[in-house]
Structure 1
């Protein structure tokens, strides 16, 4: 019953040849993705830079195929599309789908950095919530560090005491800061970015609230010639993945996605601050004027902004407020 050396060697080579000597490598995984702004806007450019880095690092393991922006899916549908699995990955602010995950308010309300929130357990907590309510896993909070401004067509009206009279403004808003602007006394029209140009052009609104970064990419600076300082809140752009899809990924794909996302998270904050400075200067050089609030009004404005997100979250769903305040507050 002995086996010759030649027979053993031949058998071993045959087994290796059909792949039985070692496990086969898993096939490369591809995730489809949609971004929330047109490709020329800085937020989309930031996301596409993340995708390029991921696709280079993830060759043979994981790739991202970008389907497009709002021409593929409107901003207001991105959260539902990801929850249902129609889209694997979205680059989208938390604000447009607060109806699904009201706790997304914390990304604009917090003054903590993503790194601090990863270290103190805040990210783990918010991902537990996003998983349950939005069927989503948040990879990164990107393009942060800067806030939102109110831009006006005409010089902002003043009250007798010199403060800005927000009651005379009809402001295009996102759902994220609607309550805050209403608290200031302004009339508010909630619209996605794709509708704003026409609203300004037709005079349906006389003001617009948005970040400096990306503003000129929409062409809105053609109509709004004044910027009210200071800014409020913090930009809340997220990169997230359908939770069921995330759970199905092999460990090496998850590792690459998370590593590249955290790298981009950090890099994008610095890049966003530079873009904010550069684009803000370009608008001022083109004739836009900055209007500063009197000190007392400025203080009240910032205090109101700081309170409003937490108040709205508590009104919508108080379940996780105490736990979130402990991490994000």
Structure 2
């Protein structure tokens, strides 16, 4: 689920400082100033309606006492190094994917994905209402970070050069994938190819791969994947996901106690505002894509179930076996899915 910089579109970073503006609030100097780098590119709805909205909400709710200076993906550092920078205290805040840190913390593998989607907001609701915040903050705290919260994330689809109608079509297919998606596809017989995100377009164009999973539909569209992949398998196989907000523990400790709930509330408000706009954007894109000649290939429930079972097997047999904390987290998530009506086996 990595989102590195791509030269084809302003999706992950600006080409120059003139491409974005930092929020400025009021004439009075803030008591606390945070630098925040996002995984979202400057030209995306995610950056405008989530990241910049968060900064605005923080300023308003704290009466200007806390200012957040936002930077799009790649502006200060690569997206893959943001979590490490926050852990070391060289960056105050990261809007990122904690899976980037899973090499140092096995409990964070597949942290942004679920085996199945029962509800588009299941990851968000689990964190805030299903015990997720307690489990995740315990894990993150030992790396000198405060887990501020999460934002809803649209699910991912498979973009391909030929129609993929079910798991049987994955056998032998060359698929660019990463993380849980890579392990899940491999379990189903795909030939998984490891490629950085900035190479997915050319890999499809040149036939290095037959299909890719990368990130959400609006981002993939911004990269121009519809030009080289005329088929998209739907619905999302990674539903209910989230993006993560982490704060350096040293930076969080400096925030007065009365302001901390206000910052947390600012994130919730920005997250819901973004989710509304993102869902609308994706629906509009689906219509636009079909009109342009792209085919949305609908998988039947029976095939989706096979995909879910493969992903769940990886999570149980591989990831949970490597980390007791991951096993505890997975158990909590599966119980939450059960309450929503998901049949685990």
Please report the TM-score for the alignment, with normalisation by the length of structure 2. Answer: 0.76
2 CA distance for matches of 1:252 and 1:63? 16
Cα RMSD (Å): 2.8
The answer for the alignment partner of 2:132 in structure 1 is 122
The answer for the alignment partner of 2:183 in structure 1 is 179
Out of 142, 160, 185, the residue aligned to residue 152 of structure 1 is 160
The answer for the alignment partner of 2:102 in structure 1 is 98
Matches within 5 A, 1:47-62: 47-62=51-66
Give yes or no for contact 2:46–2:274 (8 Å, CA) kept in 1: no
The answer for the alignment partner of 2:19 in structure 1 is none
The answer for the alignment partner of 2:12 in structure 1 is none
Matches within 5 A, 1:1-329: 28-45=31-48, 46-104=50-108, 105-109=110-114, 112-132=122-142, 134-144=143-153, 146-156=154-164, 164-209=168-213, 210-234=215-239, 235-293=241-299, 295-322=301-328, 324-326=330-332, 329=335
Q: Which runs of 5+ in 1 are unaligned?
A: 1-24
Deviation digits for residues 162-189 of structure 1, max 9, x if unmatched?
8642133222223242211211211223
Query: Which is helix-richer, 1 or 2?
Result: 1
Q: How many residues align?
A: 299
Structure 1 67/107 Cα, relative in aligned 2: closer, same or farther at 3 Å? closer
Q: Which runs of 5+ in 2 are unaligned?
A: 1-27, 336-345
The offset of 1:204, in angstroms, is: 2.4
Please report the TM-score for the alignment, with normalisation by the length of structure 1. Answer: 0.80
Give yes or no for contact 2:146–2:247 (8 Å, CA) kept in 1: yes
Give yes or no for contact 1:75–1:192 (8 Å, CA) kept in 2: no
Structure 1 64/151 Cα, relative in aligned 2: closer, same or farther at 3 Å? same
Structure 1 191/139 Cα, relative in aligned 2: closer, same or farther at 3 Å? farther
| 2:85 match: secondary structure | helix
Following TM superposition, the consecutive aligned residue runs of length 4 or more in structure 1 with deviations greater than 6 angstroms are none
**Which has more radius of gyration?**
1
The offset of 1:81, in angstroms, is: 1.6
Give yes or no for contact 1:109–1:310 (8 Å, CA) kept in 2: no
Deviation digits for residues 190-226 of structure 1, max 9, x if unmatched?
3443332333333322211132232212222221110
| 1:95 match: secondary structure | helix
